[in-house]
Amino acid sequence: MESQNKVKAAYEMDMCSGPLFSKLVVFAVPLMLSGILQLLFNAADIIVVGRYAGSESLAAVGSTSSLINLLVNVFIGLSVGANVLVAQYYGARRQKDLEDTVHTAMALSVIGGLILIVVGVLLADPLLRLMKTPDDVLSLAVLYMRIFFVGMPATLAYNFGSAILRAAGDTRRPLYYLLFAGVINVLLNLFFVIRMNMGVAGVALATVVSQCISAVLIVRCLMVSDAPYRLRLSRLKLIKEKVAAIARIGLPAGLQGAIFSISNVLIQSSVNAFGSVAMAGNTAAANIEGFVYTSMNAVYQTALSFTSQNYGAKNFKRMTKIEWYCQGIVIVVGLVMGIGAVFLGPQLLDIYSSDMRVIQYGMNRLRLVCAPYFLCGMMEVMVGALRGVGCSLLPMFVSLTGACAFRVVWIFTVFAVRRTLPVLYISYPVSWAVTFLAHTICYLEIRRRMARKEGDQA
C-alpha cells in the first residue's frame, strides 16, 4: 500500500494550490510530447509510404485524415467531457461520482469504438468518392481507411483512459506508453512496407497494432491503480446520469470537432481538384503543422484540466491566473514552432518527398497557415477555459460560426472567384482571429457573472 501511495504521489498533481506557472509547464510538456508521439504514428505512415510506395500512396494516406477526423471527433469530444467531470469531482473530493464517471467513460469508449469500425468500413468508399478523391488514389485510400478503423476501439480506450489520468494531474504515464507504442509503430512500418511490400495496407496495420499496445498499457494502469479513479472491468456500465453529464460537456465539443472537419473536408476536396501532386504537398505540410497544433493543444488541455479542478474546488481567483498564463505559454509555443516550421520547411518537406513540386506546394501552405498558427492556439485556450467551467454549448456555437461557417462561406465566395491554393489557405488564420475575439468576449462575460453570483475573489 505504501509503494502504491508513492506511485500515486509521484504522478498526480495538486492543481488547486502551490506555484501555478511551474505546474502548468510540468503538466503541459508531457502532453505536448504525447501529442507529438501520436502524430508520429501518422507521420511514420506518411514518410515511409511517400519514400517507398510513391506519391499516389502518399496522397492516399493524406486524403483520409480530414475524413477520419470527421468520423472520430464526436467520440473524442466525449473524452473531453469525461476529463472535465473527473477533474471537477476530483477537485471537489466526490469519490462516488468520480468512480461512476470513470466506469461510464470507459464503457463509452468500447461502444464507440465498435460503432466506428462499422461506420468506417462501410462508408470509406462512398465518402471518399464524395470528396472527389482522384481515381489513381481512391482504391488505396479506401484500403488504408478500412484497416485504420479496425483499431478504433483501442484508439478510444487510450484517449478516454488518458483523459482520466490527465484529470488527476498525470500526464507522464500516457507519454511513456505512447513512446513504447510509437517505437513499435515505426519498426512495423519499415517491416511491412519495405520487407513485405504491403504499401498503404502495411502502414495502416502498423498503426492499428501500435494503438492496441498503447490501449492495453493505459487500461492496465487504471486497473492496478489504488487511486479513486481505479478501473474495475466488472463495473463497466453506462450510468444514465453520468452519460448525460459527459454528453452535456463532451457532445458539443465532439460535434464542434466533427463539423470543423466538414469544413476541412471541403478544403481537402478543393485541394484534390489541383491533382495528386498538390495533394501530396498539402498532406506533407499539414502533417508538419500537426506537430505545431498538437503542442498548442497541450496548452488547451492544460487550461481545461486546471480550470476544471479549480472550478470543482471553487477556487475562482486561481482560474483567472490559469487563463492568462496559458495564453502566454501558447503564444510562445505557437510562434516558435510555427515560424520554425516555415524556416525549416524545405528540409522538413524533403523528409516526406524529394519531388520538388511536392515541396513547393507544401511551402505555399506552410507560409500561410503555419506562421500565424499561434492564433489557433489562443482560440483553443479560450475554449478550454470555457469548457473547464462546464460551459460547452456556447464555445461550440461560437466556433462553428466564427471558424467553420466562415470557411465554408469563404470557399463558396472568395475562393470561387479566385481559385488558387493561397486564397484557400488564408481562410484559416482569418477565421482563428475572428473566433478568438468572440470567445474572449464570451469568457469575460461569464467570469463577470460568476464574480457577481459566486462572490469571486477576483
pLDDT digits (tens, 9 = 90+) for 425-456: 898 899 899 999 999 998 888 888 877 766 54
Q: Answer yes or no: is 3 within a domain.
A: no
Mean of the pLDDT values across residues 251-265? Answer: 73
Structural domains counted in the chain: 1
What are the backbone angles phi and psi of residue 222, rounded to the nearest 5°? -65, -35
Give the pLDDT band of residue 198 (cuts 50, 70, 90).
Answer: confident
Sign of the CA dihedral running 96, 97, 100, 101: negative
Give the pLDDT band of residue 221 (cuts 50, 70, 90).
Answer: very high
Mean of the pLDDT values across residues 299-310? Answer: 89
Q: Answer yes or no: is 186 within a domain.
A: yes
CA 318 to chain centre: 26
CA 444 to chain centre: 26
Give the pLDDT band of residue 42 (cuts 50, 70, 90).
Answer: low
Q: What percent of the chain has pLDDT over 90?
A: 31
- Inter-axis angle of helices 345-352 and 356-365, to 10 degrees? 130
Q: Which range, of 137-141, 142-146, 226-230, 270-274, averages the lowest pLDDT?
A: 270-274
Could you tell me the three cell numbers for 315?
Answer: 477556487
- Residue predicted with more confidence, 56 or 348: 348
Give the pLDDT band of residue 150 (cuts 50, 70, 90).
Answer: very high
CA 303 to chain centre: 15
Res 142 pLDDT > 70: yes
For residue 41, the model assigns a pLDDT of: 66
Could you tell me the three cell numbers for 358?
Answer: 511536392
Could you tell me the three cell numbers for 5?
Answer: 501511495
- Residue predicted with more confidence, 35 or 224: 224
Alpha carbons 137 and 123: distance in angstroms, whole number: 17
Res 33 pLDDT > 60: yes
Q: Answer yes or no: is 36 within a domain.
A: yes
For residue 200, the model assigns a pLDDT of: 85
Mean of the pLDDT values across residues 300-311? Answer: 89
Q: Answer yes or no: is 373 within a domain.
A: yes
Res 338 pLDDT > 50: yes
> Where is mean pLDDT largest: 53-57, 237-241, 452-456?
237-241
What are the backbone angles phi and psi of residue 227, rounded to the nearest 5°? -80, 170
Give the pLDDT band of residue 458 (cuts 50, 70, 90).
Answer: very low
Q: What is the chain's mean pLDDT, rounded?
A: 85
Residues 6 or more apart whose CB falls under 8 angstroms from that of 263 comprise 403, 404, 407, 408, 411
Mean of the pLDDT values across residues 332-360? Answer: 89
For residue 213, the model assigns a pLDDT of: 95
Give, as one character, the DSSP assignment of residue 227. S
Could you tell me the three cell numbers for 185?
Answer: 509503430
Alpha carbons 138 and 195: distance in angstroms, whole number: 24
Domain interval for residue 128: 22-454
Q: Answer yes or no: is 441 within a domain.
A: yes
Q: In the block, which residue shows the cell 470507459?
A: 106
Question: For 364-398, what is each residue's pLDDT tens digit?
Answer: 899 999 999 999 999 999 998 998 887 878 888 88
Instruction: Pick the closest to residue 156 from 220, 232, 223, 214 (CA basis).
Output: 214
Q: Answer yes or no: is 4 within a domain.
A: no
For residue 454, the model assigns a pLDDT of: 61
Res 8 pLDDT > 60: no
User: Which run of H or E residues covers position 174?
Assistant: helix 172-190
- Report, in angstroms and rounded to the nearest whole number, the Rg of the chain calculated over CA atoms: 21
Contact 81, 246 (CB under 8 A): yes
- Residue predicted with more confidence, 45 or 279: 279
Alpha carbons 40 and 47: distance in angstroms, whole number: 10
For residue 133, the model assigns a pLDDT of: 80
Alpha carbons 330 and 324: distance in angstroms, whole number: 10
Give the pLDDT band of residue 43 (cuts 50, 70, 90).
Answer: low
For residue 71, the model assigns a pLDDT of: 76
Could you tell me the three cell numbers for 258?
Answer: 466533427
Q: Answer yes or no: is 83 within a domain.
A: yes
Give the pLDDT band of residue 156 (cuts 50, 70, 90).
Answer: very high
Q: Answer yes or no: is 402 within a domain.
A: yes
Res 330 pLDDT > 90: yes
Give the pLDDT band of residue 261 (cuts 50, 70, 90).
Answer: low
For residue 455, the model assigns a pLDDT of: 55
* Three-point CA angle 166, 262, 78, nearest 5°: 25
Q: Tell which phi-psi region holds residue 315, choosing left (phi > 0), alpha (psi between -120 and 50) or beta.
A: beta
Res 332 pLDDT > 90: yes
Contact 408, 267 (CB under 8 A): no
Sign of the CA dihedral running 160, 328, 282, 45: negative
Predicted TM-score of the model (pTM): 0.76
The 10 Å Cβ neighbour count of residue 118 is: 11
Residues 6 or more apart whose CB falls under 8 angstroms from that of 131 comprise 63, 67, 265, 268, 269, 272
Three-state DSSP class for residue 53: coil
Res 6 pLDDT > 70: no
Question: For 80-131, what is each residue's pLDDT tens digit?
Answer: 889 888 888 887 788 899 999 999 999 999 999 999 999 989 988 898 888 7
